[in-house]
A and B are shown apart, each in its own frame.
Chain A
């Protein structure tokens, strides 16, 4: 039997906004198994971002349990959450979120740096990954010297560098033209074929159909959970 790498168990998240308590997630439960390629969809305000933050260990649920790789991480302290993010998660953002003063290679290295890995090792892994996303000619360029598609590929390499359990992508093609977007999706499909677990947050049904499973949210609850 395959154990799920992500387990959400009645996860709730409420925010206190002045006197009003806003419930962003009202009890979400699902399991994600290794090798799945999942898209999370839903209209704006449905709790997608909140869910992504929780899945990314950037935030803690108010109630319920979230297990990542078998460990309950829902009530860990900040230092442990940071370490978990660095070791088990890869992030890809809509606006690439590369660090401007660093070169391509240095950007890819960042997660390894925070794990305290030796410099030479970081260099080797990053160079290899930059090659895999087709940026071997651009290792020492700065982000502003690259096109959007290239920047997103740097971000993908950075998300892969720590060999994470799950890669979380938030609208990864949102800022890209259709050709670059298609390139990125091709890379994702490739990664998934090689066994990577990907979670994509998107509102584009065209992208969702590349995935093996779609979770739809509405008003902080799971509306549908379909495997294609």
Chain B
């Protein structure tokens, strides 16, 4: 057999022009059976489209959650006072005291500062609820007595004017900074900076306005705890102490309740980002040792962030499996149709073999057809997969993010599916005996 190679040259290797002609032929053949091709492709279209759409919606949702958590500050640990549940109150003293004492204390603050290294700034705040007035306009808001470095610590910046300073703190000046949400209600026509507002019976000079803040989903919403309200006003902590004292009177329907709460919220900043969780544990321990009843809550944004990431990971795994299954089903659909096509076109295969086609030519021809099917499905899927999130965010108002890689990956997988599931039918076509194939009716 040594001389056989010289008889004829067998065409091997890759030829772009030839490939293009084969592709054109494939397109033409598939176009002849439009409906069948369309139905075959649908499986892949749905697979790819659902992957991209679901990923975009999931990505959007987790982005929003992460953004909110990041606003709390990933290096922060936030301690909040919570009102202990009723049975705890009773068991503690045996009777309900008129002045209910609970929550974070200045002592806690000192203890944390002294015992835990690596935490530098601590933002305490007292939160009162009251009406804020501008002449006859009023808004029910949360009065947050806090320290000058609050904006920096909580990633909540001042939009115009300034935040109060240490001097304001020391002098207990009556100044306030308005939350962005209160401005349109209190000062619908002009700039609030430099004007006065009344809180309770005292007047405060407005020195600044904060940036608007998206609704922060606070994980703690136990009843009685200072719930984050949309309307916030910031005053210096010292001012708050002198004006409101330690005891808060709350008018409830039919009763009067007094609470003694020193601090409502304390934000601890950890210097080293990697030690946040360790410090959080330490904080929890210090607090546990000094509070018999659970009248506080520790929120670690980083922990929440991690949790959100884990949730997203699980979500991605679930999505991935759904995608894999739908693409598998789509691939099987393609394989099924290609097998039917090969059988149906046995005669054509025989003719082509007789006219000089070798096995590779036949293999390529059928493989290209299945890749075209899968590829078209992929393209249509990508188009729909991009359109659907667009409509979702347009009509349902949900944030959606289409990451660059998701259409690319989805499309490549569909192409791979075309090759994998097209290979068996194409091989079957290629391995047909030309004589048998020609005899086939």
A220 CB–B CB distance under 8 Å: no
Shortest CB distance B351–A (Å): 5
B251 CB–A CB distance under 8 Å: no
User: Pick the contact of B15 from A99, A116, A158 — CB < 8 Å?
Assistant: A116
Q: Is the CB of A86 within 8 A of B351?
A: no
Cβ-closest chain A residue relative to B437: A58
Q: Which candidate, B2-10, B55-63, B162-170, is the interface stretch facing chain A?
A: B2-10
Q: Is the CB of A114 within 8 A of B8?
A: no
Q: What CA separation (Å) do A58 and B433 show in the bound complex?
A: 8
Known A-B contacts A99-B348, A113-B21; the reply to A75 vs B357 at CB < 8 A is: no
Q: Is the CB of B355 within 8 A of A91?
A: yes
Known A-B contacts A80-B4, A83-B11, A119-B21; the reply to A114 vs B356 at CB < 8 A is: yes
Q: What CA separation (Å) do A88 and B8 show in the bound complex?
A: 10
Known A-B contacts A71-B7, A113-B21; the reply to A83 vs B358 at CB < 8 A is: yes
Cβ-closest chain B residue relative to A76: B4
Shortest CB distance B124–A (Å): 81
B434 CB–A CB distance under 8 Å: yes
Note all chain A residues with C-beta closer than 8 A to B435. Answer: 53, 58-59
User: Pick the contact of A78 from B9, B17, B359 — CB < 8 Å?
Assistant: B359
1/0 per residue, CB under 8 A from A, across B329-366: the answer is 00000000000000000011011111111111100000
Cβ-closest chain B residue relative to A114: B356
Note all chain A residues with C-beta closer than 8 A to B32. Answer: 101
A118 CB–B CB distance under 8 Å: yes
Q: Is the CB of A114 within 8 A of B361?
A: yes
B227 CB–A CB distance under 8 Å: no
User: Pick the contact of B8 from A83, A110, A119 — CB < 8 Å?
Assistant: A83
Cβ-closest chain A residue relative to B441: A95
Note all chain A residues with C-beta closer than 8 A to B28. Answer: 101
Q: Is the CB of B17 within 8 A of A84?
A: no
Q: Is the CB of A79 within 8 A of B356?
A: no
User: Pick the contact of B356 from A59, A78, A87, A100 — CB < 8 Å?
Assistant: A87
Q: What CA separation (Å) do A111 and B357 show in the bound complex?
A: 8
Instruction: Identify which of residues 1-35 in chain B touch chain A, using a CB-to-CB cut-off of 8 Å.
Output: 1, 4-5, 7-11, 15, 17-18, 21, 25, 28-29, 32
Cβ-closest chain A residue relative to B351: A97
Note all chain B residues with C-beta closer than 8 A to A114. Answer: 11, 352, 355-358, 361
A162 CB–B CB distance under 8 Å: yes
Q: Is the CB of A162 within 8 A of B356?
A: yes
1/0 per residue, CB under 8 A from B, across A186-226: the answer is 00000000000000000000000000000000000000000
Q: Is the CB of A86 within 8 A of B355?
A: yes
Q: What CA separation (Å) do A86 and B17 show in the bound complex?
A: 19
Cβ-closest chain A residue relative to B352: A110
Shortest CB distance B348–A (Å): 5
Known A-B contacts A58-B438, A97-B438, A101-B29; the reply to A73 vs B354 at CB < 8 A is: no
Given known contacts A83-B356, A118-B17, what 16 new A-B pairs fall within 8 Å (CB)?
Answer: A58-B434, A75-B1, A77-B4, A79-B360, A80-B4, A80-B5, A82-B356, A83-B8, A83-B358, A86-B356, A87-B356, A93-B438, A97-B347, A98-B351, A116-B15, A119-B21
9 residue pairs, one from A and one from B, having the closest CB atoms: A86-B356, A82-B358, A114-B356, A83-B8, A71-B7, A111-B355, A79-B10, A58-B434, A97-B351
